[in-house]
Amino acid sequence: MTRRWLSSQERAQREVLPLNLALYHAAREYPGGVKAVAAIYGLNATTLQHKLSPTHETHRANIDDIEAVLAATRDPRILDSLGEIAGGCLWVCPVERRGTDRNGEQLDVLEHLASVHDRLGDMIASVRTSLEDGVVDERERAELRKRARQTMEAVLSLEMAANGAGEVAHG
């Protein structure tokens, strides 16, 4: 790996971010940005922007701000951050059922299986890259933790899809 310092946006893609940065990126990348999030929940846009800014140390997001940004953006980085705070908890969102026919359910399970395969491949490649120079630094460890989290979430998502395949509605 290169030893150059990662930008905030690069870190957001490669690591589980601290909660304040996850909120900042989620709101910033939401269509319409922080102003749109604030408008949805009747918050003062300037105040919310200051609370989410990583450079305004005197302003901090409160639980209502966290709820507003998460509900509006549904950004997985926020949930990853909360999971890290809680000691490495994982989360999985229920999968939208595409169709009710057996073939559609089987394809859904296969798509989840492909996702597990892709995540595991990414994780193995990351481990290989980290070990090439014989030193695993903190940034590489952070990337490995994120890839491991994504792999486990994909496995849980596969389990949910497999459990839902072939369900019979009782009524």
Task: Give the tens place of pLDDT for each residue, 64-92.
Answer: 999 999 999 999 899 999 998 998 888 87
pLDDT over 60 at 24, yes or no: yes
Q: Is the pLDDT of residue 51 over 80?
A: yes
Can you give the pLDDT at residue 156? Answer: 83
Whether residue 155 contacts residue 116, with contact meaning beta carbons closer than 8 Å, is answered with yes
Question: Distances in Å between the alpha carbon of 73 and those of 69, 83, 92, 108, 140?
Answer: 6, 17, 16, 25, 28
- Residue entry with tokens 């490495």: 88
Tokens of 71: 């509900």
Would the pTM of this model clear 0.85, i.e. be above it?
Answer: no
| 96 or 110, which is more confident | 110
